[in-house]
Structure formats: C-alpha cells, structure tokens
C-alpha cells in the first residue's frame, strides 16, 4: 500500500489543513476578542431641569495592549493567507 500512498505528503496535507482550518480561525477569533474587550463608563453631563442639554450614554475605552494584540493577530492571519497563496501559485 505504501507504493501508492506517500505518507510524507499526506502528513504535509494534514498539517496544512490543521494550520489553515483550525489555528488561523483561532488566531482571528483571539484578535476579535481582544478588540471586544473594553471598559464602559457611564457618561452623564450637563443635567438640567428640562433635559435640554442632557447627555447620557456609555464611553467605551480599550486598552492599548488589547489593540496591539488584535493587530498582531490580524497581521499573522493576513501573512499566513499571503504565504498560502504564494505556496499555491509558486512554480518550482
């Protein structure tokens, strides 16, 4: 049976499938989660009797570390996709 199936190539296909099918979506999801991690503070300004200058809502702030993590995750995903396209189109 080993005359017909090259197990080394099958292993490479399985490794590439796991990388592009499981690890990259996990990295992308981590980047999205880092962007969604925020701190919301209640904002109430200019309270008046008639409510004319009243502003209420939430002010959302994100930490610079979370933004940096998200950017790194997205850069890894884009670089991996570009490398995959290069591998597919590269001619030996």
Q: What is the pLDDT of residue 29?
A: 95
In total, how many domains does the chain have? 1
1 belongs to a structural domain: no
52 belongs to a structural domain: yes
- The predicted-structure confidence for 50-72, as pLDDT tens digits, reads as follows 555 555 565 667 888 889 999 99
- Give the mean pLDDT per block of 10 residues along the chain (92 residues): 80 87 92 80 57 57 88 95 88 66
55 belongs to a structural domain: yes
Nearest one of 37, 32, 36 to 73, comparing CA atoms: 32
2 belongs to a structural domain: no
Q: What is the pLDDT of residue 1?
A: 53
* DSSP assignment of 7-76: HHHHHHHHHHHHIIIIIHHHHHHHHHHHHH--EEEEEEE---SSSTT-EEEEEEE--HHHHHHHHHHHHH
Q: What is the pLDDT of residue 69?
A: 94
């Amino acid at each position: 049976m080993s005359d017909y199936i090259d197990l080394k190539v099958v292993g490479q296909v399985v490794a590439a499938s796991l990388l592009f099918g499981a690890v990259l979506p996990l990295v992308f999801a981590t980047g999205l989660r880092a962007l969604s991690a925020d701190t919301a503070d209640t904002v109430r300004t200019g309270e008046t009797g008639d409510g004319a200058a009243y502003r209420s809502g939430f002010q959302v702030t994100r930490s610079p570390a979370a933004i940096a993590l998200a950017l790194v995750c997205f850069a890894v995903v884009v670089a991996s996709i570009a490398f995959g396209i290069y591998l597919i189109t590269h001619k030996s």
